[in-house]
Structure 1
Amino acid sequence: MRMSGLNFEAIPELSAPMRFYLTAPVFALLAAILVISFGEQVWLSRWMPVTLAATHLLALGVMAMVMIGSLFQVMPVLCGAAIPIRGWKLHLFHLLLVAGVVSLSSGFLGWVSFSLSFALLGLSLGYFVFSLLRVLFWEAQGQQTRLPISLAVLALAVLLALGLILLSGYLWGVAPGIGKSLTNLHAGIGLFGWIMLLIMAVSFQVIPMFHVTPNFSSGWRYGLIGLLVIGIVIVSLESFGVPLPGGWLVCIVASILYSIVTLERLGKRKRKLPDVVVNYWKCGLGSLLLACLLLFSFFLPLDLLPWPVGWQTKLEVFIGLLFGLGFVLAIIQGMLLKIVPFLITLHLQRAMMRNPIAMIPLPDHYQLISRVHMKWQFHLYIAVMLSLVLSFMMPSTTAIMALLFALNWAMIGYNILGALKQYRICLVNLQSSFEQFKK
């Protein structure tokens, strides 16, 4: 079936995205163990080794892992073209990426050399970016989604290049002498480029589709993406010495506008039944708004800042966690509750089409992941966010936040595994039905 750029025939095997989805909770648990081990040291500075290690476990091991897995599924559905990484290449890519994330975080802690992560991440992410850009430029359709996804992947390419340059500085001292501005650019492109652009690209399609909301107008879609890209370009030029201030403010304004517009769309959804995923979106967008407002306060004159002396360093870490845990991981958690049952149902339907004489009742989404388990997962997310505020005020309670975070992602892993168990049971029943019919 192929229409308007959609190509369901190109959908990959279920194992393609699921391997990344199941890897993410493992890295979340590793990050939690790391924070529990070092406690309140994470609040001393965003440059602390433990903070850098935990940040990259979350950014690469959890966020990027789920986003990459989702792209394997999103590309055929929204852009009509599959990512040409399959079979042994997919196994190798996943293995190198996992090893690269582990070695990078270990490198920040001084356990291994950065040369290992330089090679592993350069090869794995470089191969993924090259493969995806080739598909986007030459095969993809669906212009509304193709353009923002292309921009997000280009941002990932720049993000990878900057990361490798920073690692080369650790290894060989060849990073350009522009101080911490390169690190800030690396973080900025990661947050506002790769992550924000991809979330925008997907949300413009899935929010109206999954939640029956009004469509995002073309003005908002292209306007928000264009504004964000302009801000990223200005920030990049400023980082390399071009006197063009204001780039960060443009990115902040674009993110605030996106939050407001998306919340407005969700407020007009036609299906008014309670929905945990909608709650995730609302909490995530609220966290994004708060993070942007706090980040904006950094651009005010120092005498206008309301923060007590010595809090600015802690505030930088808090904003990063608010953006990461509060916004990005909220959207990821909510989308997994929609995507995993959707994928399983889709693949079960394809299996039944291959054996049309073997008919079995398909489970609905809430049989794959029950409403009760969804609520428990969401309540644990809320507990994490409340404990984040508590640990910001009282750093000695940081271990509590990490423990709740571990429980939250253990629940996510449990929900995904439970859904896959139901999938395997249905396949067995389908095969059994087929065999009985032949007899």
Structure 2
Amino acid sequence: MRLTGLNFSDIPQLDVPLRFYLTAPFFAVIASLMLIWQGDAIWLGRWLPASLAITHLVAIGMMAMIMIGSLFQIMPVLCGAPITIPPTPLLLMQAGLIFGTLALSAGFFGWPTFAISFVLLALSLGYFITSLLGVLLRKAGGQQTRVPIMLAGLALAVVVLAGLLLLAGYLWGYFPFAGKNLTNFHASTGIFGWVLLLIMVVSFQVIPMFHVTPEFPRHWRIALPALLVIGLASIALSTLLQLSLYYSSALIAGVAILYAAVGLHRLRQRKRKLPDTVVSYWQWAYACLICGCLLMIAMPLVPIQLQGRAEVFIALIIGMGFVLGVIQGMLLKIVPFLITLHLQPIAMANPSAMMLLPDHYSLISRQQMKVQFRLYQLGMASVLVSLLYPPVTATIGLMMLLNWLWIGYNIASASITYRNVRQEMMAS
């Protein structure tokens, strides 16, 4: 595995990724409370106002917030090129994301806030996408990571554009495509283009690095993103021609299943066989991705009256099970890694402070990791039980609430430890 040489001057300040990480639990609390409030009504379909609001709270407020924060740290490591956004524009960008997401979610309940969300999300996400693509085009190295990250950034741009067109329909009655094809294209490109493509390229690097597995074979590192892009292009063409999206979606689902199978095989080959919570997160996340994608492919076999519930289950099992599962596991590695990375220059400049450098498990203990993972497992169990017995659907929201409150506590406690250790190191 080849990583671009790391220069400490390229690493962003620790508060840059952490501010995004600490914002996500705030949106998780709101989304969880809405899930508890809605209960089994969410199984009526993904087109309900509450379902749309919850979806965007999770997709932008949690997933995108953490992925954007991570990209600030990933780019110098994988591509040797930091995303350079000055402090004030960065603060305004995140504020636009926060208030734009809240305004969008409120708009689904009839509040006159779609115009506000249109402006704030267009400006904040547009600014980030422009900054990311500019760095990738001008400065980035490492072709094996640069090109897929660029494709993920372009997918995010397409997702945002499709979302703005949908908002334009709400605001001004402008609908460029009939039916729900544009909405399905918006959702598919978001989850399989922006999210899956980025997770895929990052996993090719971090799974071998963190878990001592063999490298992903070069043919898979090239073929899987390429097949995914072909499937996404097929969905775009089908949307433009007003054709059924099923075959394109089935192709993408098949690629996702193949990727998950390759990932599970790599994890089984890891040299360090000790129990590892993050490995368990990857295994569960891949299993959820396979389950959700198999159901996507089998959708024509599902009775018409159950297809709405099946779509909601697919969204939950892929969104909560796979995407948020990977994100939770990666946070357990990334946050301690970032903290020790930022303390190392102080220790290197002052050898007497070297003994104060914390290990990863003193920042987030094994017990804290286990509690977080058990809450995630209970959340996924509640999804399955609620599918079979809808009256207990509120437990999904309750488990999600407890899970993300614990994640917020883990990140906050590690940040406090960093501040205290840094003060001690500087004093020594």
Mean Cα deviation higher: 388-397 or 4-13: 4-13
C-alpha contact (below 8 Å) 1:81/1:141 kept by paired residues: yes
Q: Distance in 1 between matches of 2:349 and 2:412?
A: 25
> Per the alignment, do residues 172 and 3 of structure 1 end up closer, same or farther by CA in structure 2, a change over 3 Å counting?
closer
Deviation at 1:57, TM superposition (A): 0.3
Residue 234 of structure 1 deviates from its aligned partner by 0.6
Counterpart for residue 170 of structure 2: 170
C-alpha distance after superposition, 1:155-184 (max 9, x if no partner)? 000000000000000000112132100000
RMSD of aligned Cα (Å): 1.5
**Counterpart pick for 1:390 among 369, 378, 385:** 385
Distance 1:351 1:129 in 2: 33
| 1:426 aligned residue (406, 421, 428) | 421
Match in the other structure for 2:294: 293
Alignment of 1:197-346 (within 5 A): 197-241=197-241, 246-298=247-299, 300=300, 305=301, 307=302, 310-346=305-341
> In the TM superposition, what is the alpha-carbon distance from 1:80 to its structure 2 partner?
0.5
Where in structure 2 are there 5+ consecutive unaligned residues? Answer: none
Question: 1:265-289: CA deviations, max 9, x gaps?
Answer: 0000000000000000000000000
State the distance in 2 between where 1:295 and 1:279 align.
24
**Alpha carbons 1:5, 1:142 under 8 Å: kept:** no
Counterpart code for 2:387: F
Q: Structure 1 residues 361 and 177, CA, compared in 2 at 3 Å: closer, same or farther?
A: closer
Looking at structure 2, the residues matched to 37 and 408 of structure 1 have their Cα atoms a distance apart, in angstroms, of: 18
Aligned to 2:95: 95
Judge conservation of contact 1:360–1:430 (CA < 8 Å) in 2. no
- 1:234–1:244 CA contact under 8 A, matched in 2: no
Q: Distance in 2 between matches of 1:350 and 1:74?
A: 19
Which residue of structure 2 aligns with residue 35 of structure 1?
Answer: 35
Number of the residue aligned with 1:436: none
Contact kept, 8 Å, 2:253 with 2:293, in 1: the verdict is yes
Give the letter for the 1:313 counterpart: G
Q: What aligned pairs does 1:28-177 form with structure 2 within 5 A after superposition? A: 28-177=28-177
- Report how far residue 356 of structure 1 moved: 4.9
Supply the distance in 2 between the matched residues of 1:12 and 1:73 (Cα, whole angstroms): 7
SS at the partner of 2:393?
A: helix
Q: Is the contact made by 1:266 and 1:278 (CA closer than 8 Å) also made in structure 2?
A: yes
Secondary structure of the 1:310 match is helix
Distance 2:3 2:348 in 1: 19
Q: Say which is worse superposed, 57-66 or 83-92, in terms of deviation.
A: 83-92
Closer, same or farther: CA 4–373 of 1 in aligned 2, 3 Å: closer
Between 310-319 and 152-161, the greater mean CA deviation after superposition: 310-319
In the alignment, residue 414 of structure 1 is paired with which amino acid? Y
Gaps of 5+ in 1: 434-439
| Cα deviation 1:179-232 (Å, max 9, x = unaligned) | 100000000100110001000010000000000001011100110000000000
| Contact map agreement 2:267 2:279 (CA 8 A) in 1 | yes
Q: Deviations over 1:59-107 (max 9, x none)?
A: 0000001100000000011100111113111111111111111111111
Alignment TM-score, normalising by the size of structure 2: 0.97
> Matched residue pairs, number?
426
Q: 1: CA distance between counterparts of 2:353 and 2:123?
A: 44
State whether residues 3 and 142 of structure 2, in contact with CA within 8 Å, keep that contact through their aligned partners in structure 1: no
Structure 1 residue 39 displacement after superposition = 1.7
Q: Distance in 1 between matches of 2:5 and 2:155?
A: 24
Change (3 A) 1:173 1:354: farther
Do 1:360 and 1:429's aligned partners in 2 also have CA atoms closer than 8 Å? no
Once the two structures are superposed, residues 318-361 of structure 1 have per-residue CA deviations (whole angstroms, 9 ceiling, x without a partner) of 10010000000000000000000000000011233344564442
8 A contact 2:356–2:425 mirrored in 1? no
